[in-house]
Structure 1
Amino acid sequence: MRKVTAGLFHSVDGVVSEPNLWQFDSFDQEMGQGMTAFMERSDTVLLGRVSYHEWAGYWPNAAQDDDFAGFINPVEKFVASRTLTGPLEWQNSHLMDGSLEDFVAGLKERDGGEIAVCGSISLVRQLLFAGLLDSLTLMTHPVVAGRGRRLFESDDPITRLSLQDQYRTSKGNVISTYGLLAE
């Protein structure tokens, strides 16, 4: 069965949105190596509507020698949206059919590499609480972002996690990977 993974840049105060505003000075070689390994394991990407619009407006025109552009443009992408209609213009992008949970459960049954949730804070939350997210990597930068969207909300259910891996990079980032605690 394929794994569904997610990785988010994360500030010490829990902000996960707009990391371009606060993580640029602490992105280091070890983080880059982790991102490369993530891309090599993934052959399918899940995006929400907002991330799709933001990324589809940027990445197709990004320099092709950029490592992430070389990954995200050709990879198969599935977009969760209640308002978009197809076909989608960005290369290899398709709308999900049916509910998010049913679609992802079916996708996990297909052959292939890892299924990566990129950006898409709402999708990460939904898949985690539905029990469909196999691992969540938080790349915590040594910065207080102050404002921005956080991954978890005050009314989220208590959800036990298991630490699968953790390491510190040379610029003080702490990379922690969690999975749902098996009951």
Structure 2
Amino acid sequence: MARTVTAHLFHAVNGVTEAPDQWQFDAFGPEEMELMGSAIGSVTDVVIGRRLWEEWSQYWPQAQEGDPFAAFINPVPKHVVSTTLGDDLPWNSTRIEGDPAAYVRELASGDGGGISVVGGVETVRGLFLAGVVDELTLTTHPVIGAGRRLFDDSVPVTRLRLLDATPTSAGNVIVRYALRD
């Protein structure tokens, strides 16, 4: 049985997904916490882009004890999309060699729990458009952000299928999509 590959990004109304810590502010309530907990509960592997891996590998290993995301992200195997990093990576990480979409497809065909593509923008975009990501969750915050958008003008018209949409008490909307068949 194939493993499920998911991605979840925070999203501004104008489509910005880069640096949500700069614009999501206090719009994170109980529904968002519940979603995060259930999203990572079955994940046994993480796929991450090089820039985000470099940032997180400096921060999360030193995060406060008891932080639920640190308890998840530090021990989980991380598969890093990079053509510039070496092969001997710290933080329980392996560099993806070759085509990331082929690598993740092979990973998904093996044993284990869910696979989460945690970022960055190019990694999520590329794997989603390649049909590797089964479900894309966007938590849209009621803000106009500055930065890169997940789907910029380089992406052709692509039809999506709505799986679920839930407004939250913090004013966000959590939306799950898949590529349309």
The answer to whether the superposition gives a TM-score over 0.5 is yes
Indicate the residue corresponding to 1:165 in structure 2: 164
Q: Percent identity?
A: 47
Indicate the residue corresponding to 2:122 in structure 1: 122
Matched residues, number: 180
User: What is the deviation of 1:7?
Assistant: 0.4
Indicate the residue corresponding to 2:35 in structure 1: 34
Give the 5 Å matches for 1:41-52.
Answer: 41-52=42-53
* Aligned-partner SS, 1:2: coil
User: What is the deviation of 1:172?
Assistant: 0.9
Indicate the residue corresponding to 1:140 in structure 2: 140
1:108 partnered with 2:108? yes
State the TM-score, normalized to the length of structure 1.
0.96
Summarize deviations over 1:12-66 as a string: whole Å, max 9, x none. 1111011111112111111000000001021100011101100001000001201
Amino acid at match of 1:14: G
1:155 partnered with 2:158? no
**Distance in 1 between the 2:18 and 2:160 partners?**
22
* Aligned-partner SS, 2:101: helix
Show structure 1 runs of 4+ deviating over 4 A: none
**Distance in 1 between the 2:48 and 2:94 partners?**
10
RMSD: 0.9
Summarize deviations over 1:101-139 as a string: whole Å, max 9, x none. 211110010011111011211111111111111010000
State the TM-score, normalized to the length of structure 2.
0.97
**Distance in 2 between the 1:141 and 1:165 partners?**
16
User: What is the deviation of 1:96?
Assistant: 1.1
